[in-house]
Chain A
C-alpha cells in the first residue's frame, strides 16, 4: 500500500493545467509542421504558419495558446495498491483546478445551473473526472483542457447494425463537414464505436489522449482510421475551413463490444490547440 496525499494531487493538477494551457505537445507541433509543409492552399498554409508561431509565442511569453482554456477534463488512473490520504480525491482535483486557473491566469469558463441562471463558478470548477482503477500503486493524472468550440460539435448516434462500416464513415464525415470552421480545423478526431451511449462518447474522448497519429493496435480499427483520415481530408475544409487539404491531423478510433441491436458511434472533436499533459504520482 503506497500513500498519496491529496496535497500532492492538488499541486500536480494545478501544475499540469498551467503547463497544458501554454505548451502545445511536441507531437501536435510536429503534426502541424507536416500539415503546413503539405498544405496546397496558400491561405491554409499561412494559417498553419500563424498557428505554429502562436505555439512559440505562448511557450516563450507565458500567454495561453487559446483564450478558451476550456472545461477541466481530468483522467485519473489509480493503482489498486495506492491509498489516498488527506481527504477526498474529487475535492483535491477541484482544488487543483481552482489553484491552476487562478495562479495561471487562465479563463474561468464554467457556469452552474446550466438551464437557468448560468452563474460562473469563478474558478473553473468543477472538473469532469474520469476515474479508472488499474494495477499497481501509482496514480497517473492526465489533464485535457477542452475548448467549447470543438466540444460543442460532438455527436452521438445509435446506428442500426446493418449500417455497418459505411454507416460509421458517413456519420463521421457528416459531423466534420457540418461542423465546418467552428471547431478550428485542422482537427484531431476521436471516434468511439460500440458500448452503450455514455460509454461510446467516453471512448471518443479517451481517443484524444493518444499521441497524434498513433494507430489503434487492432488492424481492423487501424484500417478504418486510415480510411477516415483520407476521406476527412478529401472534404476539403482545410485550416479554419477556408479551403485546403489538411482538415484532420489524425483520426483515432476506439472500439468496445456492443449490444446485438446496436451500432453506437460517437465523434468527439479536438481542435489544433490540442492541450494535453500527464504526470505520475
Chain B
C-alpha cells in the first residue's frame, strides 16, 4: 500500500510519514552527491547563494549512467548516503526537507530530521533500470563540469521510495534488524550495540 505524494512536501505531509511507509513521489527533485555537496557548502561558507532553490527541496543522491539517444536518463539508482552525512544538517538548516539514498544515516542527520522536521527516504539500491523509468525529464542545472555528479533537476512520476527515518526519530533499519535478528543463532558473536554480558540464548 503506497502513499502517493505530490511534491513539494508540505509540513503536514512530513508530519504524517512514519519509518517503513512506502511512498511514490511525483514532482521535482534535485540530484547531488559528494562533489556537488562540497561545492554547495563552500558557497554557504562564502555567503554566496546556492545554485538551486533549497527551501522545501528534495535531494536524490545519484550519479546516473549516460543516457542512450532518445532517452531521458540512464540507470539512476541511489548511492550510499553515509558519505553525504557531513553536509546534510547544514543544508536542512537552509530549508532542505528530504533526501533520498540508500543505507543508514548518522546520529547527527537523525537529529537534524527532528530539529528541522524532515525525512530520509531510501530507494532500492541496484534497481537503476527500474527507477530510470520513473524519471520523465532530466536537466543539468548546476556544476555541469562534474558530469555524472552534476546537479540535475528531475521531474519524477510515481517514484518509489521507503521512509527510512521520519521526523519523530523512528529508524526503519534499526527497527527491522531488532525484529528479525535471532541472537540465539549467532553463537558467541556479540551483535552491534548488544550487551556483551547478556547470554545469546536470552533473545534481544
Residues in A with CB closer than 8 Å to B80 are 148-149, 152, 182
Residues in A with CB closer than 8 Å to B64 are 67, 107
Contact B68 A62 (CB under 8 A): yes
Please report which residues of chain B, range 91-129, place their CB below 8 angstroms from some CB of chain A when the two chains form the complex. Answer: 102-104, 122, 124-129
Residues in B with CB closer than 8 Å to A51 are 124, 126-127
Contact B65 A64 (CB under 8 A): yes
Majority SS at the chain A contact face: loop
Cα–Cα, bound, A174→B187 (Å): 13
Residues in A with CB closer than 8 Å to B192 are 174, 177-178
Given A54-B128, A57-B130, A63-B75, answer yes or no on A182-B175 (Cβ-Cβ < 8 Å).
no
Residues in B with CB closer than 8 Å to A251 are none
Contact A271 B126 (CB under 8 A): yes
Cα–Cα, bound, A122→B41 (Å): 26
Q: Which of B22, B128, B129, B185 interacts with A46 by CB under 8 Å? A: B22
Cα–Cα, bound, A87→B79 (Å): 38
Q: Please tell me if A278 contacts chain B, counting CB pairs below 8 Å.
A: no
Please tell me which stretch of A1-9, A89-97, A234-242 contacts chain B, meaning at least 4 of its Cβ atoms lie within 8 angstroms of it: A234-242
Contact A236 B65 (CB under 8 A): no
B60 to chain A minimum Cβ distance, whole angstroms, is: 11
Q: Which residue of B lies closest to A237 (CB)?
A: B177
Contact B130 A50 (CB under 8 A): yes
Write the A136-177 contact mask toward B (1 if CB under 8 angstroms, else 0): 000000000000110010000000000000100110011001
Please report which residues of chain B, range 66-96, place their CB below 8 angstroms from some CB of chain A when the two chains form the complex. Answer: 66-68, 71, 74-77, 79-80, 82
Give the A interface residue count (CB, 8 A): 56
Q: Which of B66, B132, B188 interacts with A170 by CB under 8 Å? A: B188
Contact B74 A63 (CB under 8 A): yes
Q: Please tell me if B162 contacts chain A, counting CB pairs below 8 Å.
A: yes
Q: Which residue of A lies closest to B76 (CB)?
A: A67
Q: Can you give 24 contacting A-B residue pairs, CB < 8 Å?
A: A40-B180, A43-B162, A50-B124, A58-B75, A63-B71, A63-B75, A63-B128, A64-B74, A66-B125, A69-B65, A106-B65, A109-B63, A149-B102, A181-B102, A181-B103, A181-B104, A181-B122, A181-B173, A182-B103, A235-B186, A235-B191, A236-B176, A241-B177, A243-B180
Closest 3 CB pairs of A and B: A243-B176, A236-B181, A236-B180
